[in-house]
Amino acid sequence: MRALGIDIGSLSTKAIILDGNHIVASSIIATDEETELSAKAAVDEVLKQAGISLDDGVFIVSTGVGGKNVSLSQQSKSLTTCLARGVHRLFPSVRMSIDLGAESSTVIKVSDRGRLNDWVNQDKCAAGTGIFLQQMAKLMQMPLDEMAGLSLEAKGRADITSTCAVFAESEVISHVHREPPTPKEDIVAGIYYSVVSRVISLCKRIGIEGDVAVTGGVGLNKGLVKILEDELGLSVLVPEQPQLVAALGAAVVAQESIDKGVNG
């Protein structure tokens, strides 16, 4: 029996197959309007990569925004539980993990057994999320990768509000159009700082301790991670594919169920 985890995010759906401790295959696809279709596509892709079919015996655990509505899965678990399991599998020393997703930021505390000890999230406003950064990239008329690189060259930091995505947009426009205009790299650094300051406030709310990891698609943004490290005053651990961590955690939960002999 293989363990398969699916994480349905608002922008992308991820799937991972585990065989014991081994990651056999992984897939990332854009999330469709229909959760079920996204889940099926991600599962088909990962099964194809692994060279197996559902008939070969697969235990599926789903998580994420539409995780409960996936008919393919035998179990669903909350994102926070899966993040804790996934981070622990990759970095057993981590006690706090920051998940920067497309539509929400979540900070979790992880026990030495990979269990969720506490969490806090912000999901009331786009400020501090991946979608906010995408909007800012459009406004700055440059790809996200370029923005990340540019921020590393910043000598200053533009003041951007950390409380509201809509206000932040107006502020960026005013920085671009003022005379003389604020340097682009400083504007980008300011945008990232506004995200980071929200995230750090979440971290402090549950108490920063132990090694810290960053997961979620925004974890790929080196410029933002650098500012996060500077503000936290410590180095953070970022997996090679940070957007896959929740799917990995779901697969770990599936593996635990298989080990316990649980049938869907």
35 binds other proteins (CB under 8 A): no
Q: Which CB sits closer to other proteins, 10 or 117?
A: 117
CB-count exposure of residue 207 (10 Å: 0-12, 13-18, 19+): exposed
- CA torsion sign for 7, 238, 143, 197 is positive
Q: Which stretch binds other proteins (CB under 8 A): 23-31, 35-43, 72-80, 173-181?
A: 72-80
Q: Which CB sits closer to other proteins, 74 or 117?
A: 117
Least distance (Å) between residue 76 CB and other proteins: 10
Q: Which CB sits closer to other proteins, 77 or 184?
A: 77
Per CB under 8 A, the list member of 91, 119, 192, 193 interacting with other proteins is 119
115 binds other proteins (CB under 8 A): yes
Least distance (Å) between residue 253 CB and other proteins: 10
Per CB under 8 A, the list member of 74, 75, 117, 161 interacting with other proteins is 117
Give the whole-angstrom CA distance, residue 29 versus residue 64. 14
Q: Which stretch binds other proteins (CB under 8 A): 114-122, 166-174, 213-221, 225-233?
A: 114-122
Give the whole-angstrom CA distance, residue 162 versus residue 195. 7
Q: Which CB sits closer to other proteins, 10 or 49?
A: 10
Per CB under 8 A, the list member of 15, 43, 116, 168 interacting with other proteins is 116
Burial letters 155-177, b for 16+ CB under 10 A, else e: eebbebbbeebeebbebbeebee
Q: Which CB sits closer to other proteins, 75 or 134?
A: 75
Written as one letter, the residue type at 114 is: G
**Which residue, among 115, 184, 190, has the nearest Cα to 157 in the 3D structure?**
190
Size of the site for other proteins (CB under 8 A): 12
Give the whole-angstrom CA distance, residue 68 versus residue 78. 9
**Which residue, among 220, 206, 64, has the nearest Cα to 148 in the 3D structure?**
220
Give the whole-angstrom CA distance, residue 79 versus residue 76. 9
Least distance (Å) between residue 115 CB and other proteins: 5
Give the whole-angstrom CA distance, residue 232 versus residue 200. 7
Q: Which CB sits closer to other proteins, 111 or 174?
A: 111
Which pair of structure tokens corresponds to residue 145?
Answer: 């990768």
Q: Which CB sits closer to other proteins, 66 or 190?
A: 66
3-state secondary structure of 100: strand
Least distance (Å) between residue 119 CB and other proteins: 7
201 binds other proteins (CB under 8 A): no
Residue 18 backbone phi and psi in degrees, to 5? -110, 145
Peptide bond into 181 cis (omega under 30): no
Q: List binders of other proteins among 73-92 (CB under 8 A).
A: 77-81
Least distance (Å) between residue 80 CB and other proteins: 5
Interface residues with other proteins (CB under 8 A)?
77-81, 115-120, 123
